[in-house]
Structure 1
C-alpha cells in the first residue's frame, strides 16, 4: 500500500506528532471519520486521533464500498501499519467499528505490532451471534426507517433525497459487511479490552457486551451508560475521560 493510499484511509483532524499515543477510531456502519472530530479535539492534549475513513463516503464517495468485513479489516490494518510510528497504538470502534477494531487489533498483534488497548463500543462480542436482519437488502424506505430508529443519523440528511442517493450505497455496503461477518476463532488478544454500551441499546445486551472478556488475555472492563445505540453522543466527556484513564492505567500516557 502506498503512502497516498494510506492517507485516504486515515484522517488527522488535530495532528499531534508529540502526543504519547496514537488512537485509531473506527466509525459505525454508514459513519465517517468526521464522527470522531469531537473525540480528536477533546483528546488532542493526550493522544493523536486517527479517524478511519471508509470508502464510499465524503471525499471517497466515488469509491465503491467494501461488503466483506475481513477484507475491510485487511485494508485498514495496512493503512494503520503504514502510518504507525514508535508510539503506543490503541483502537476505539463503535458498532461495526468495534468489530473492525477487534479484527485490526488481532492482525496487528499477529504481525508483531503491540496494541495498547481496545475500546469496543455498542457491539456484542465477536463470538456472540444473532440471526442477521438483512438490513442491507431492505428497500430504501425501510433502510431509512432503520437508520432513523437508531438515532445516529441527522434527520435532515434522511429527509434529503439528493443526499440519500449519495449515502445509501455506502450504508448498504456497511450493513452487508456486518451482517455477513463470520467470526474466525483466534487466541485472545494480548491487550486490555474495554467494552462500552448504552443501557437501552437494542443492538447489544449486558451479557453480549460482557462476553468481550473472553477475547482478551489481559484485563477487561465493562462500562454502561444511559442511552441507546448512540449513547456516546450524549456522554462524550465521560467516554473521553474513560479512554484517557485506561490509557494512563495501561501505560501509554504515563503520569500525564
Structure 2
C-alpha cells in the first residue's frame, strides 16, 4: 500500500488488527496513519474467565450475556456452524500472550473497557 490509510476495528478482530499493523510496519509500509480500537491495550490482560473451555450450554449462556441478540443460537443448524468458530475466536482472545514489539509510529487510539 502506498496511499495513507486508517484502521478502525471492533470486537474480536482488534488483536488481529494490532498484530497486522506491526506486520505492515515490519514490511516497511509507511502508509498507516491511524489505528482506532475499542479494546484494552494488548499488554493488559483481557478476559479473566476462560469461557472457550466451558461446556456448550454454559458457553452459549455467557455469549448471550454479552450479546443477547445472537440469532444463530435460535437456529440449531446455524448454531452447529457458528459455535466452533466462536470457541476458536474466544480461545484466541483469552489465551493471547502479549509480545512487546517496536512502537507503532502513527496515531494509535485505545478506548478499552
Shorter-chain TM range is 0.7 to 0.9
Residue aligned with 1:171, SS: helix
Alignment of 1:3-82 (within 5 A): none
Residue deviations 1:204-253 (CA, integer Å, cap 9, x gap): 2xxxxxxxxxxxxxxxxxxxxxxxxxxxxxxxxxxxxxxxxxxxxxxxxx
- Contact 1:93 1:100 (8 Å CA) reproduced: no
Alignment of 1:1-256 (within 5 A): 85-114=1-30, 115-121=32-38, 123-130=39-46, 132-151=48-67, 154-196=69-111, 204=113
Residue correspondences, number? 112
- Contact 2:40 2:111 (8 Å CA) reproduced: no
Q: How many angstroms apart in 1 are the aligned matches of 2:79 and 2:19?
A: 30
Structure 1 unaligned residues grouped into runs of 5+: 1-84, 198-203, 205-256
Structure 2 unaligned residues grouped into runs of 5+: none
CA gap 1:131/1:86 in 2 versus in 1, 3 angstroms: closer
TM, length-normalised to structure 2: 0.86
Q: How many angstroms apart in 2 are the aligned matches of 1:156 and 1:150?
A: 13
TM, length-normalised to structure 1: 0.41
